[in-house]
Amino acid sequence: MTDQAKEKRKKTLEYVGLLVFWEAIDMVTDWVLYSDVKSIQPGLVYGPPDNSLIRALLAFSVIGTLTFLAQIGILLIEYFKKGWLTKADSIQEFVYESDLVSLITIILEDLPQVIITLTLVTCREEGISYVQIAKAILPIIELLARILCSMYKLCREEGSFCDRLRGTNSENRLINTIGWMRLLGLVVVFILNVVMLILTTTEKDVDIYGNSKSVLKGRQFKYIFDEEYNDARYLQNVGIYMHHQAFDFENSSYKSFVKLIEIYDLENANVAEFRLLMDTETKSKFIIEKSTCRDPFPKLSECFEKLDDNIKIISSCNNFLTNFSTFAFRFEFKERNIPSLLLGDVNYNWKTDITGNCSHTMNNNTDVPAVYYYRSKEKQKHFRKVAAAASASAAAAAASASAADDDDDDDDDDDDDDDDDDDDDDDDDDDEQEEEEQLNVDQFGTLVLI
């Protein structure tokens, strides 16, 4: 073998090795992305994508693996083919014979997978993990390399691949057609990957109440490369609120809620327990007790008395209640985990003591308390009110969650508002709620339903 032939052989092997390397990385990222998406659990704000999307991602990951193995098989056949890698145009011959396989790979693997990943990005305002960013960057590098190699290495000599694409050499029209379709597919996939990279590394500029400014801004690098997430827009000033029919006024369209704990405080405490003690006869007096893992002894948080048009805070709780019913709530914060639980989750369980027996069962005459997620525009401590219409959209979810808690004592049930999908529907109520008349402004504040 001459020195020139050896040099050609070396360059061809380098080209083939680079191609196999990038295809292997692409296959690995396909499966890691599928594993990440498959592991996503229902949680605060985020939840798993549709099962159909997960199945489609699995199917095209399998197809991608099969096409990768097919390409390896073709390379092995060509490697042992007599005379290959010794011809002066060995690189060109390799490209000709792999064009059809490359086109099939683009149609069956690259294009569907980038569309699926782009769908995931557009459905979520945060990236899933490092893999999603890598899934956008690596194909861009690979596609640029493949396009440049085709246009630079294969267009240098007369009668080369580019001549066939231009129609100068019309010896084989099938090769011309396949070549054009392949390049077109590469360009389309390249554009989609660029769009995916932009969406992954930018975020919509919104305030903490979810009001969009319709402006994309670059995501902070600490959120991208440390896999941290800008959760203030979702969780700042968001707390868990409890509602009971006894809190409401008879001739008012407003619903009253008591704030139990903020999400951030619950995350720091990990576990929080509350007891609502309510006067059995009049249901106009009630006490809130609170305990956490860091402070396990129950403490009287507040004592309240409902008057004709107001709820009054009682400074002294001594002998405040004689006969009372008890509703007990326990909240546990599930730790954040990327990518399965980006912002964590809240599980809760409850019991009631109305007849002297502590159980999950309530008789038909007992009003069931419900818990909700709300965001307050001010950091208020006590009771707040919202219009009945504003709270109606959350009533069904809370009622179903309350009814679903008839499990074992040690079982924690998922909170009723795992997802934050109702944000957009409730943004329209903000302006109306801001104009509501407030009762005792030091105790009440306007709520935005989340």
Distances (CA, A) of 82 to 4, 77, 99: 18, 10, 21
83-97, 139-153, 341-355, range with greatest mean pLDDT: 341-355
pLDDT winner (highest mean) among 254-258, 357-361, 396-400: 254-258
Q: Is the pLDDT of residue 221 over 70?
A: no
Asked if residue 164 has pLDDT above 70, the reply is no
User: How many angstroms separate the CA atoms of 369 and 391, rounded?
Assistant: 14
Q: Which residue has the higher pLDDT, 395 or 45?
A: 45
Query: In this model, does residue 184 exceed pLDDT 50?
Result: yes
Determine if the peptide bond prior to 49 is cis (ω within 30°).
no
pTM of the model: 0.65
pLDDT, average across residues 341-367? 67
What confidence score (pLDDT) does residue 296 get?
56
Structure tokens at 2: 């001459």
Model confidence at 210, in pLDDT bands (50, 70, 90)?
A: low
User: What percent of the chain has pLDDT above 90?
Assistant: 1
Token readout for 46 is 């985020």
For residues 51 and 431, the model is more confident at 51
| pLDDT one-digit tens code per residue, 368-389 | 778 888 877 666 665 656 554 4
Q: What pLDDT score does 55 carry?
A: 92
Determine the pLDDT at residue 62: 92
Q: Mean pLDDT for the chain? A: 68
Beta strands at 299-306 and 324-334: parallel, antiparallel or unpaired: unpaired
Sign of the four-CA dihedral 119, 123, 129, 133? positive
With a cut of 70, say whether residue 414 has pLDDT above it.
no
The whole-number pLDDT of residue 230 equals 66
Half-sphere exposure of 197 (CA within 13 A, CB side): 14
pLDDT for the residue numbered 429? 39
Q: What is the mean pLDDT of residues 267-288?
A: 83
- The answer to whether 254 and 385 have CB atoms below 8 angstroms apart is yes
Residue for token pair 């699995």: 58
Mean pLDDT, residues 413-422 = 39
